[in-house]
């Protein structure tokens, strides 16, 4: 397969991606390879979000209008193509993976009492907590209807295990909230369950519905798990250094909610005692009152660099897992997705 360059930045001619991996354009170039599939996924999401209950429709439209990177469905369709899989089942898989993600966001925003996401008011801010929780349940159940449509027992097993693990991750995160004694191991367990597991399930399901063998299924599961971990670690970094206008969230959002993320955990191990006292107080009480001082403590201890380094290590593991797949433009795009994840700035 051969593609002409787009704006001189993206070409399959030499079977390599030559792009600024951290730029928004990088993601657009990756999407170009599976644009038809992504359009079909979007149509499926819009169609299956519909309900005869008007409030469900209103909240569903609010979620769809919120946009987002949609990395998970992108990963699923790329993984399916990397396995030379059929189009229809991968589209269903990409849609139900995104539905699970949307449901978790609806519930997360209620638990965290979040008022903003992606630069917009959250559903719970507009429609209330009760409606958000109930529509989150609707979205979960609709996801399982789509899973059933694949008529694959293995798909159901993977997704049942994944959603159970995600729920446990949510509870573990709640247990860690406002606890400055949270360890790195405890925190990594949360993101393994809460974030990485859905990426892992998406990769594995894509291989299953594509009819790929066990080696490809395992490779894409490993790929997804490490990609998801890297994604969350970079999110932790961006929480303390990104542009709020670009990212759609205020700096220190996790700190304001009392979440001890890895930059804070690492800083506590290496900062001065006055700084440690400040960070502990910030985690216990939440809020951003002394955010500037806490960010200084994080930066002075190299905690952002440490977290980024760990994300890069996870990215290398994800890239290594792809070696089990045939060398195709789709595998290269999966690799480019990893590089975008760790280089992104929002």
Per-residue pLDDT of 247-299, as tens digits, reads 556 788 899 999 999 999 999 999 999 999 999 999 999 988 899 999 999 99
Residue 17 covered by a domain: no
**Calpha distance 290→240 (Å, rounded):** 13
d(CA 123, CA 337): 29
Whether 280 is in a domain gets the answer yes
Question: Residue 100: inside a domain, yes or no?
Answer: yes
8 A C-beta contact, residue 9 and residue 25: yes
Query: What is the distance between the alpha carbons of residues 196 and 202, in angstroms, rounded to a whole number?
Result: 10
| 233 lies in some domain | yes
The segments of the chain whose pLDDT lies below 70 read 1-25, 67, 86, 118, 242-249
Segment 290-344, tens digit of pLDDT: 999 999 999 999 999 999 999 999 999 999 999 999 999 999 999 999 999 999 9
Domain region containing 70 = 33-337
Q: How many domains does the chain have?
A: 1
Q: Is residue 8 part of a domain?
A: no
Please give the Cα distance from 177 to 165 (Å, whole number): 18
Q: Per the structure block, which two tokens stand in for 304?
A: 């952002």
pLDDT of residue 4: 30
**Is 27 within a domain?**
no
CA distance 292 to 73: 36
Q: Is residue 343 part of a domain?
A: no
pLDDT value at position 242?
62
Residue 210 lies in a domain: yes
CATH (domain of 77): 1.10.600.10
* Cα distances (Å, whole numbers) of residue 294 to 283, 297, 298: 11, 5, 6
The secondary structure of residue 124, as a DSSP letter, is H
């Amino acid at each position: 397969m051969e593609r002409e360059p787009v704006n001189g930045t993206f070409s399959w001619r030499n079977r390599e991606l030559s792009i600024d991996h951290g730029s928004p354009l990088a993601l657009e170039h990756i999407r170009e390879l599976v644009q038809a599939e992504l359009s079909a996924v979007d149509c499926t999401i819009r169609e299956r979000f519909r309900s005869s209950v008007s409030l469900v429709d209103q909240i569903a439209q609010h979620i769809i209008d919120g946009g987002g990177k949609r990395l998970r469905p992108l990963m699923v369709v790329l993984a399916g193509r990397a396995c030379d899989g059929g189009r229809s089942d991968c589209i269903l898989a990409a849609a139900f993976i995104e539905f699970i993600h949307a449901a978790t966001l609806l519930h997360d925003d209620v638990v965290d009492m979040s008022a903003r996401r992606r630069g917009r008011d959250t559903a719970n801010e507009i429609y209330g907590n009760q409606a958000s929780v109930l529509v989150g349940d609707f979205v979960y159940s609709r996801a399982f209807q789509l899973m059933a449509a694949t008529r694959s027992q293995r798909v159901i097993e993977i997704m049942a295990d994944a959603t159970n693990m995600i729920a446990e991750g949510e509870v573990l995160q709640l247990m860690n909230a406002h606890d400055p004694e949270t360890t790195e191991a405890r925190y990594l367990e949360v993101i393994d369950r809460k974030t990485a597991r859905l990426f892992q399930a998406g990769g594995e399901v894509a291989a299953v519905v594509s009819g790929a063998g066990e080696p490809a299924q395992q490779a894409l599961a490993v790929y997804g798990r490490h990609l998801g971990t890297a994604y969350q670690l970079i999110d932790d970094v961006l929480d303390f250094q990104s542009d709020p206008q670009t990212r759609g969230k205020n700096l220190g959002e996790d700190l304001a909610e009392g979440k001890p993320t890895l930059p804070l955990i690492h800083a506590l191990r290496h900062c001065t005692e006055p700084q440690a006292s400040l960070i502990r107080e910030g985690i216990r009480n939440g809020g951003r009152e002394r955010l500037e001082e806490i960010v200084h403590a994080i930066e002075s201890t190299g905690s952002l660099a440490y977290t980024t380094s760990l994300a890069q290590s996870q990215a290398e593991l994800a890239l290594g897992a792809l070696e089990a797949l045939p060398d195709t433009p789709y595998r290269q795009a999966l690799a480019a997705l990893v590089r975008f994840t760790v280089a992104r700035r929002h």
